[in-house]
Amino acid sequence: MRKEDCYQLGHISRLHGYKGEVVAFFDTDQPQNYYELESVFVDIRGELVPFFIEESATNSKGHFILRFEDVTPEEAERMIGYELYLPLTFLPALDGKKFYFHEVVGFTMIDAEVGEFGTCQEVMDSSAQPLFKVLDGDKEILIPAVDDFIDRIDRDKKKIHLNCPPGLIELYRSGE
């Protein structure tokens, strides 16, 4: 399995007990989607290695306690800090204005006033709010990826319709 075909579910944060169980943090708003998880991919030195889950439970903080098949306590201890991945196909489909960041890369961006103005290169999530990074010719345009600016997402046609504040796109186009 290639990392490009997966999403990071979370990571192993520490050991649980002494029998080889680990505590895993899953970065999700819907942990119930993962209660019946049978396996995960573990990033070991850049390679995704499948591990089958023998037992799974949650603790009082909502973290998962996992026991992997055929993993000794010593091996479990070495896995602390390792990232956990699942195939993109495991993600539930979203509709309306909700989207996964990877999902909209390559979508055409259309503003209500300006019209079509570029292609989404990525959704950056390192600031206070996520940003669409849009390539418009040789210009890079950053648009907040917030509900207030998103009119609708047309997944079939791979287009995002926006209502950007007046002058935002022109500001980037003018180079000022």
Q: What is the pLDDT of residue 176?
A: 47
Residue 16, φ and ψ in degrees, nearest 5: -125, 110
The pLDDT value given to residue 161: 98
Q: Residues 140-166: pLDDT tens digits?
A: 999 999 999 999 999 999 999 999 999
What does the pLDDT average to over 102-110?
Answer: 95
Q: What is the pTM of this model?
A: 0.71
Apex CA 58: angle with CA 56 and CA 61, to 5°?
A: 155
Average pLDDT over residues 52-79: 95
CA angle 26, 78, 53 (to 5 degrees): 50
Q: How does residue 28 score in pLDDT terms, banded at 50, 70 and 90? A: confident
What the chain holds in terms of domains, given with CATH numbers, is 3-90 (2.40.30.60), 101-174 (2.30.30.240)
Q: If you average pLDDT over residues 103-108, what whole number do you get?
A: 95
For tokens 């201890």, what's the residue? Answer: 77
Asked if residue 79 has pLDDT above 60, the reply is yes
With a cut of 90, say whether residue 74 has pLDDT above it: yes
pLDDT at 175 (0 to 100)? 63
pLDDT of residue 146: 93
Residue predicted with more confidence, 152 or 127 = 152
Q: What is the CB neighbour count within 10 angstroms for residue 145?
A: 22
pLDDT digits (tens, 9 = 90+) for 92-103: 888 889 998 889
Q: Are strands 108-111 and 159-162 parallel, antiparallel or unpaired?
A: parallel
Q: Is the model's pLDDT at 12 over the cut of 50?
A: yes
How does residue 115 score in pLDDT terms, banded at 50, 70 and 90? Answer: very high
